[in-house]
Chain A
Amino acid sequence: MPFSRRIFLRGSAIAMVGAGAAPLWLQRAAFAQNTAGQRRKVLVAIFQRGAADGLNIVVPHGEQRYYDLRPTISVPRPAAGVAKEDSVIDLDGMFGLHPSLVPLKPLWDRQQLAIVHAAGSPDPTRSHFDAQDYMESGTPGFKATNDGWLNRALLPVQGKPSPVRAVSLGPTLPRAMRGANDSVAVENLNSFNVRDAAAAKALEAMYMGSGDAVLNGTGRATFEAVALLQSIQKTPYQPAAGAQYPAGRFGDSLRQIAQLIKADVGVEVAFADLGGWDHHAQEVGPKASVGQLANRLTEFGGSLAAFYQDLGDRMEDVVVVTMSEFGRTAKENGDRGTDHGHANAMFVLGGPVQGGKVYGQWPGLAPEQLYENRDLALTTDFRDVLGEAVFSHLGNQQIAKVFPKYAGGPDKFKGFLKT
């Protein structure tokens, strides 16, 4: 399958943009199948915690009701008298990106960024905690699920799996990654070790021999990962192609995920998150390019674009998918903010993506089209999106095991990945 897909890529993507215009990595990727044994398919999941405002991120500027519902916090259409950096970046005449996402526009133009709008969790909860939990467990409405979808998405392996096949950046292990397969949380690759070598040996022996199931398990997984990662800690990491990650935790996380992918240490799924999307008040400043939402998006878009640039031809093996627990009210509230809503927008980017297109069905913003008369209605279950990434990219076809209680399957997939 990888073989034919690459041939396809060679024939299509390059042909589409023209060999001269195709980025160097795309040209190289077309010839890379001989080394494919070393390289793995990687799925990177990004969580925007706090319920990002999908309607101001992928703006339905073609629908006048959007502007009626948001008289003071909408993102204006490009027009005379509105600065370019304060207006929508049009994508297809109906939808446009928030101007702070300008670094993502080249990915869209290269058809490596797809958007699924009006997507999210079918569960009606507007609790951040429950909704995040449902989205990470992959079982909306069911609290008893013990593990996360990203852990279940890992394919069964023959022999010893890489200790970093499932890696999350940050000081805590997200719900999505908990489960039977070993997974590691890495706060910082460079300090991912026990600093004192002699103590490290004794501590390793302690945890390996411990009868405490939890600490024995975490300890073993940790020390195996430490041993593996030693080799890549020696030289300071330089992002390729002049990629510049924005300062902050999210940029740091994506930079380190890129480092791990390029080091060929066996990463299959990776996770990073970015909080601070819960904008009940003063979501937007005096103009669209300033304010809380703009700040978050600058970090979000800039980091994703840097990741894409940094990975270069390795993007051929990578799919990134973004999600947030729910959207926000279609109508702005009394404080130039938005309250908890329902459906949202998801981004999918990477080499295997058939981008440059907004997928999904647009439900409209008329009062009777809104969910419970207030929120963007849901037309795509988030599992349709994640399921396609797991099925078509990771190659795990056991969708019913990855998403128990999910009635969908390949028939529900949107087709944003090349097959």
Chain B
Amino acid sequence: MIATGFAAKKPKPAAAAALTAPRIPLMTDEQRAIHALNRLTFGPRPGDLEQVKQMGVARWLEQQLQPSSIPENPTLLSKLEPLDTLQMSTAAMLEKYPSQQMVKAMAEGRLPLPQDPRTRAAVQTSIARYEKRLASGADAQANGVQPPPPPPNPQAQQQTQQQMQAGQPGRGVPAGRGVQPPPAARITPEMVNALPLEPDQREAFLNGTQESRLALVESLPDEKLVDVLEALPQPVRQRLSSAGSATLRRRVEILNTPQQVVNRDLSEGKLLRAIYSNRQLEEVLTDFWYNHFNVYLDKGADRYMVTAYERDVIRPHVLGKFKDLLLATAQSPAMLFYLDNWESAGDPGTLGMMPGLGRGMLPGPGRGPVPPNQRRQGLNENYGRELMELHTLGVDGGYTQQDVTEVAKCFTGWTIRQPQQGGGFFFNPRLHDRSEKHVLGVTIPAGGGIEDGLKVIDLLAKHPATAKFIAKSIAIRFVSDEPPEDLVAKMAATFTKTDGDLREVMRTMLGADEFWAASNFRAKLKSPLEMVVSAVRAVNGDVDSATQMAGLMNTLGQPLYRKVEPTGYTNRGGDWMNSASLLARMNFATALARGQIAGVKVDSAQFDGDVPQIEKNILLTEASAASQGAIMAGLDQPIDQPAPAPIPSQQGSGGRGRGPLQQLQLQRGAVTKGTVVAGLTLGSPDFQRR
């Protein structure tokens, strides 16, 4: 039970409507427009409210339900362009940014080196590192042993990300645990002499400023640039690149950590889309459905599968038919790998074809030789269970352990061709349990093949428990932590009537009074992702790099693509509120407004107005009395200016908009009255709800 706190108006039965159901008090027109933006986008940007009001809420909703009709934001497209892995197939990614296994294969000459010179250089660096480890005997792979999968530990990733940005520590952002200060990045004559540059260039590099060095490096032709970057010690390279262009940064990232490029692109792409896309509802729904069919990025081969999974499996179906979405996930390498179905096989004796030909004859699963006595066959019920519990029926949907086992049998043989090398789905009849199965009271006759799984998909997609479970999940995300039963029933009815048409289910929800009930207005607590993205949108942040924001998601407890459990993250806002989260939100809010989040520029000129106006620009309504009062009182405090610039301690006169900082010159990154007000507003209780 989540208390809704403020804005909880009790519906009063209207006397006139006494014969019918009591009418729900509804929002005003202004509130409807704000509510639409709060719930169907990642938060309003300046100007959005006016646009919605001008179009009319109904037309705006209809447009968002047809995302392909909305021209995409050119700023987004240009920011996504350098993130080349977002458009690649899993196999292409593995070639350009190879995994450790593939580096090993190339080092041993079992795979050719890439053609592209830049890619080749990066791969050669990886091979050199691999061989060094091999020589020192430190690497488990030297013994042909598959390294353990990375621990499902967001912290480990956080540290990687913090190391990545070591040259650019965000002053206002919570540091992770155990983060080491960046190693000294001094430029020495020996270092410079080793650079493959002309003597005069070396001279200039040694004696120049950071800016002139950067200019020199950026002016080099492609091949030369790679050589120079490679010759520089990692900390120097890092510091140089963190000040450089996006293109330079990317080259350095590729050189330093080629295996990180894919997941960095993913997180960066997700944040950029959430912040910039004009197709906001599609983004919110892609987030919702990815989370519904959650896959954990760091589980082995999934690192290279999640990009295609989100792009080709989730996104195209978010306003389509549920059954298509369900089938696409069931046949996606990402899900097959994550929930282990690719390894599930019928017990010996149920495999009707070619008995004795087990998986020993199949393409290797890519984890090195398995001793013959360990090569076994058998069922894995992981997917079968989560398919019903989390993807379709819901845990109370009326299935039994027997159903779990039977469903798992139906999906035996649904596997992946060479998962470590980017292979796709295929049905392997030699792994399929051909016995008769009974699923939820339906008999699936013996002797079937791939159609056994297809029948289960069909059965589950049409099941009334699925309609209800999906309707309720959507309603929890979009309407309320405790959505009204009537609304869920209406949405479930639409689901059933339209054969699981998700656009129609959304229409039913958006057409229902329950969605527009006054008590829903700004009543749902934001998740960390919603908080971070909505804050950047509210102040029109210009995102050059989303790396630090992605790292912040770890601190806030919602690391992107890294929910280990198949449940995905909670859709209930109340679950996210706690002291750690609150402090991280406040620190992010104040840092963002001051332009201290690395990679995000915030124009402080927008905070020039008077205090209530700054608040309203961010919240779209007036701030609550408590927030207003605290902000005004706060302006009378001497404001904490980050070192080294000291604050002239001038006595403020107190009144509205006249703090001690009014005289300070406006400059990016500096503390001004406006940035203080904006930071406090973003950190206020008012902004934590949508």
Contacts and interface: CB of A to CB of B under 8 A. Distances in A.
A247 to B, nearest CB: 7
A291 B575 CA distance: 33
Contacts of B395: 125, 127, 129-130
A160 to B, nearest CB: 17
B578 A218 contact: yes
A128 interface: yes
Contacts of A335: 340, 343-344, 376, 378, 380
Contacts of B492: none
Interface in A235-282: 247-249, 252, 275-276, 278, 280-282
Contacts of B634: 198-199, 201-202, 205
Given A209-B629, A340-B385, A50 B5 contact: no
A170 B580 contact: yes
B7 to A, nearest CB: 8
A247 B155 CA distance: 10
A64 to B, nearest CB: 18
Contact of A187 (B153, B377, B555, B685): B555
A196 B685 contact: no
A66 interface: no
A222 B554 CA distance: 20
A197 B613 CA distance: 24
Contacts of B575: 172
B525 interface: yes
Given A172-B575, A186-B580, A248-B156, A194 B630 contact: no
Interface string A189-216: 0111111111111110111011111111
Interface in B377-413: 377-382, 385, 389-390, 395, 401, 404
Interface in A354-403: 372
Contacts of A222: 579, 582-583
Contacts of B525: 214
B125 interface: no
Interface stretch (B197-205, B309-317, B459-467, B637-645): B637-645
Interface residues of A, number: 78
Interface in B339-387: 339-340, 343-345, 347, 367, 371, 373-374, 376-382, 385
Contacts of A201: 634, 637
Given A205-B634, A212-B5, A249-B154, A188 B177 contact: yes
A286 B145 contact: yes
B5 A292 contact: no
Nearest to B369: A286
Contacts of A216: 5, 685
Given A218-B578, A292-B149, A171 B557 contact: yes
Interface in A396-414: none
Contacts of A252: 155, 177-178
B62 to A, nearest CB: 33
A17 B581 CA distance: 46
B531 to A, nearest CB: 12
A247 B340 CA distance: 28
A209 B630 contact: yes
B16 interface: no
B175 A197 contact: no
Interface string B530-574: 000000000000000000000000111100000011110000001
Contacts of B556: 171
B627 to A, nearest CB: 5
Interface string A210-238: 11111110110110011000000000000
B151 A299 contact: yes
A194 B580 CA distance: 11
B577 A199 contact: no
Contact of A215 (B1, B371, B577): B577
A198 B640 contact: yes
Contacts of B374: 72, 336
Nearest to B176: A188
Interface string B104-141: 00000000000000000000000000000000000010
A286 B566 CA distance: 27
B231 interface: no
B672 interface: no
A146 interface: yes
Contacts of B339: 280
A281 B379 CA distance: 11
Contacts of A18: none
Nearest to B8: A213
Given A146-B1, A335-B378, A199 B676 contact: yes
Interface stretch (B233-241, B274-282, B584-592): B584-592
B633 interface: yes
Given A198-B638, A206-B627, A281 B380 contact: yes
B51 interface: no
B276 to A, nearest CB: 26
B688 interface: yes
A199 B630 contact: no
Given A195-B587, A209-B626, A286-B371, A203 B580 contact: no
Contacts of A221: 579
A339 B381 contact: yes
B580 A275 contact: no
B153 A215 contact: no
A285 B584 contact: no
Contacts of B676: 198-199
Given A247-B178, A276-B151, A334-B343, A199 B586 contact: yes
B633 A202 contact: yes
A27 interface: no
Nearest to A295: B148
A199 B404 CA distance: 53
A211 B624 contact: yes
Given A211-B5, A247-B178, A336-B374, A218 B151 contact: no
Contact of A337 (B2, B340, B555, B627): B340
A210 B378 CA distance: 58
Interface in B659-690: 676, 679-680, 683-685, 688-689
A333 B380 contact: yes
B435 to A, nearest CB: 15
A110 interface: no
B172 interface: yes
B677 to A, nearest CB: 10
Given A209-B630, A215-B685, A203 B586 contact: yes
Contact of A292 (B148, B154, B344, B584): B148
Contacts of B347: 334
A290 interface: yes
Q: Which of B152, B395, B525 has the most CB of A within 10 A?
A: B152
A184 interface: yes
A286 B372 CA distance: 12
A333 B378 contact: yes
Contact of A171 (B340, B584, B633, B640): B584
Contact of A219 (B377, B582, B638, B679): B582
Closest 5 CB pairs of A and B: A334-B378, A202-B634, A171-B557, A209-B626, A173-B578
Interface of B: 1-6, 140, 145, 148-149, 151-156, 172, 174-178, 339-340, 343-345, 347, 367, 371, 373-374, 376-382, 385, 389-390, 395, 401, 404, 525, 554-557, 564-567, 574-584, 586-587, 590-591, 624-627, 629-631, 633-634, 637-640, 676, 679-680, 683-685, 688-689
27 contacts: A129-B389, A172-B578, A173-B579, A187-B557, A191-B583, A192-B583, A195-B172, A196-B640, A198-B676, A203-B684, A206-B627, A206-B630, A209-B625, A210-B6, A213-B5, A215-B577, A215-B685, A218-B577, A219-B582, A222-B582, A249-B154, A281-B380, A296-B151, A333-B381, A334-B378, A335-B378, A339-B382
Given A185-B580, A192-B583, 14 more contacts: A128-B567, A172-B581, A193-B583, A198-B637, A199-B640, A205-B630, A205-B634, A209-B629, A213-B6, A221-B579, A248-B151, A275-B152, A285-B145, A335-B376
